[in-house]
Amino acid sequence: MKELIQLFESEAKHGLYQMLPPELIKKYPKLQKNSYSRRLDDKRYEWFAEKINFSNKKIIDIGANIGYFSFRLYKEKNAKITTYEPNKKHNEAISKVKKELNINENFSNIAKGIDKDAIESLPKSDIILLFNVVQHAGEDFDSKYVPNQEKWFDYAVEYLTKISKKTKFIVFQTGYTWLGHDTALCKENEIIDFSVNLIYKAGLEIVNCGLIQDVVKPEYKDFEIKKSENIHPILNKRKELLSKIMNKLKISNNDYRFMQRPIFICKNIK
């Protein structure tokens, strides 16, 4: 158990990111205290897992981290899972959890990242999960293609276009600062239009968009996309009022920025 906790809490750049899979907590209730909802994994899952049919489907989870989504889809939807996670500790954590939960089939975890040139080698699948990976291009991977912020958008269009040839649906979420720094890829109030433009340019259709609409009760709700000038529901709030609420609820700027990220269910229409 101690070894497992050490793996979950590794000090990697993306360590302490996801919550622990609920099946594991069922087995070891004491682990509940080591499962933190920093990135609203449970809320994200609750929203996207009901938007398309995951039952018995072939799923690829790119940048799976410690596998929160994959373990839930495996257990709750009987999905056939392949995870790609380049961080050795995170991938090892996935292997250990598989062992703990006696998962011996229909779940492969590959200790490899998917940079743009590796997309070709991906097997075909029904649904690809691509959560919060692409904004790291330029630092974690593909720095040759993204030497500066200006190159990011076209790169991301190409990345999504290539991925779309491998699957029917992509569940997509990205960050809006480049390399995790404060260099914004777009203005806060343009996050939705910026993403919609990116997805359309990649030749995909948006089936659904989920957005947190209230920082006090953060839950993803369906958001209807217009052609342009989509107003973000939480960015629409008056700044002074918002910072009062954030102070009171101890919502950090990082948490707030994460809450701004929409989730898109994208369909390959070609």
Ligand X SMILES: C[S@@+](CC[C@H](N)C(=O)[O-])C[C@H]1O[C@@H](n2cnc3c(N)ncnc32)[C@H](O)[C@@H]1O
Among 48, 54, 141, 159, binds ligand X (CB under 6 A): 141
Residue from 87, 257, 90, 265 nearest 173 by CA: 265
Calculate the alpha carbon distances from 25 to 20, 42, 105 in Å.
7, 14, 21
Question: Which residues 51-70 are close enough to bind ligand X by CB under 6 A?
Answer: 62-63, 65
For residue 131, state whether it binds ligand X (rule: CB under 6 A).
yes
SS3 (DSSP) at 225: coil
Bridge-based pairing state of the strands 107-110 and 80-84: parallel
Question: Which residues 5-24 are close enough to bind ligand X by CB under 6 A?
Answer: 14, 17-18
Question: Which residues 210-269 are close enough to bind ligand X by CB under 6 A?
Answer: none
For residue 48, state whether it binds ligand X (rule: CB under 6 A).
no
Interface stretch with ligand X, choices 97-105, 108-116, 159-167, 219-227 (CB under 6 A):
108-116
Least distance between ligand X and beta carbon 232 (Å): 19
**Residue 80: strand pairing partners:** 58
Among 81, 93, 127, 133, binds ligand X (CB under 6 A): 133
Strands (E), the chain: 58-62, 80-84, 107-110, 127-131, 169-173, 204-212, 220-222, 263-268
**Residue 222: strand pairing partners:** 210
Integer Cα distance of 116 and 137 in angstroms: 9
Least distance between ligand X and beta carbon 240 (Å): 30
Interface stretch with ligand X, choices 3-11, 111-119, 150-158, 250-258 (CB under 6 A):
111-119
Integer Cα distance of 148 and 47 in angstroms: 34
SS3 (DSSP) at 148: coil
For residue 140, state whether it binds ligand X (rule: CB under 6 A).
yes
Among 47, 84, 159, 223, binds ligand X (CB under 6 A): 84
Residue 162 or 237 having the CB closest to ligand X: 162
Least distance between ligand X and beta carbon 188 (Å): 19
Integer Cα distance of 114 and 133 in angstroms: 9
Among 115, 158, 190, 255, binds ligand X (CB under 6 A): 115
Residue 80 or 90 having the CB closest to ligand X: 90
Q: Using only C-alpha atoms, what is the Rg of the chain?
A: 18
Q: What single letter denotes the amino acid at residue 116?
A: K
Binding site for ligand X (CB under 6 A): 14, 17-18, 39, 41, 62-63, 65, 84-87, 90, 113-115, 131-133, 136, 140-141
